[in-house]
Amino acid sequence: MRLSLTGWVRNTPEGQVELTATGPEAALQQLIAWCRHGPPIARVAGLTEERVAEESFGGFEIRRG
Protein backbone atom coordinates (compact mmCIF):
# COMPACT_ATOMS: atom_id res chain seq x y z
CA MET A 1 0.00 0.00 0.00
CA ARG A 2 2.94 2.35 0.70
CA LEU A 3 3.91 2.04 -2.96
CA SER A 4 0.37 2.92 -4.16
CA LEU A 5 0.04 -0.39 -5.99
CA THR A 6 -3.21 -2.27 -6.40
CA GLY A 7 -3.78 -6.02 -6.43
CA TRP A 8 -3.77 -8.82 -3.89
CA VAL A 9 -1.55 -11.17 -1.87
CA ARG A 10 -2.22 -14.50 -0.18
CA ASN A 11 -0.48 -17.43 1.49
CA THR A 12 -0.99 -20.80 -0.20
CA PRO A 13 -1.58 -24.09 1.63
CA GLU A 14 1.91 -25.15 0.43
CA GLY A 15 3.54 -22.31 2.39
CA GLN A 16 4.19 -20.05 -0.59
CA VAL A 17 2.99 -16.53 -1.18
CA GLU A 18 1.13 -15.46 -4.32
CA LEU A 19 1.02 -11.81 -5.26
CA THR A 20 -0.59 -9.88 -8.10
CA ALA A 21 0.15 -6.17 -8.31
CA THR A 22 -0.30 -3.39 -10.80
CA GLY A 23 0.99 0.16 -10.86
CA PRO A 24 3.98 2.25 -11.94
CA GLU A 25 7.01 0.23 -13.05
CA ALA A 26 9.33 1.85 -10.48
CA ALA A 27 6.97 0.90 -7.63
CA LEU A 28 6.65 -2.66 -8.96
CA GLN A 29 10.44 -2.98 -9.03
CA GLN A 30 10.62 -1.78 -5.42
CA LEU A 31 8.04 -4.40 -4.42
CA ILE A 32 9.93 -7.16 -6.25
CA ALA A 33 13.18 -6.14 -4.53
CA TRP A 34 11.47 -6.28 -1.12
CA CYS A 35 9.94 -9.70 -1.93
CA ARG A 36 13.41 -11.15 -2.54
CA HIS A 37 14.07 -10.74 1.22
CA GLY A 38 10.62 -10.45 2.81
CA PRO A 39 9.93 -9.36 6.38
CA PRO A 40 12.47 -10.10 9.15
CA ILE A 41 10.87 -13.41 10.21
CA ALA A 42 10.46 -14.76 6.67
CA ARG A 43 12.64 -17.26 4.84
CA VAL A 44 12.58 -16.57 1.11
CA ALA A 45 13.75 -19.62 -0.84
CA GLY A 46 13.09 -18.16 -4.29
CA LEU A 47 11.05 -15.77 -6.34
CA THR A 48 9.32 -16.32 -9.65
CA GLU A 49 8.24 -13.24 -11.54
CA GLU A 50 5.65 -13.48 -14.29
CA ARG A 51 4.39 -10.55 -16.34
CA VAL A 52 0.77 -10.85 -17.43
CA ALA A 53 -1.84 -8.54 -18.92
CA GLU A 54 -2.62 -5.70 -16.52
CA GLU A 55 -5.78 -6.08 -14.48
CA SER A 56 -7.74 -3.35 -12.76
CA PHE A 57 -8.11 -3.50 -8.98
CA GLY A 58 -9.88 -1.09 -6.66
CA GLY A 59 -7.14 -1.25 -4.03
CA PHE A 60 -4.87 -3.80 -2.41
CA GLU A 61 -6.22 -6.70 -0.39
CA ILE A 62 -4.95 -9.58 1.67
CA ARG A 63 -6.79 -12.72 0.61
CA ARG A 64 -7.27 -15.84 2.69
CA GLY A 65 -6.02 -19.16 1.25
- The residue extents of the domains of the chain are 6-62
pLDDT of res. 1? 77
| Residue 2 pLDDT level (bands cut at 50, 70, 90) | confident
pLDDT of res. 54? 76
Amino acid letter at 59? G
Residue 63 near residue 10 (C-beta atoms within 8 A)? yes
* Strand bridging mode 6-11 / 60-62: parallel
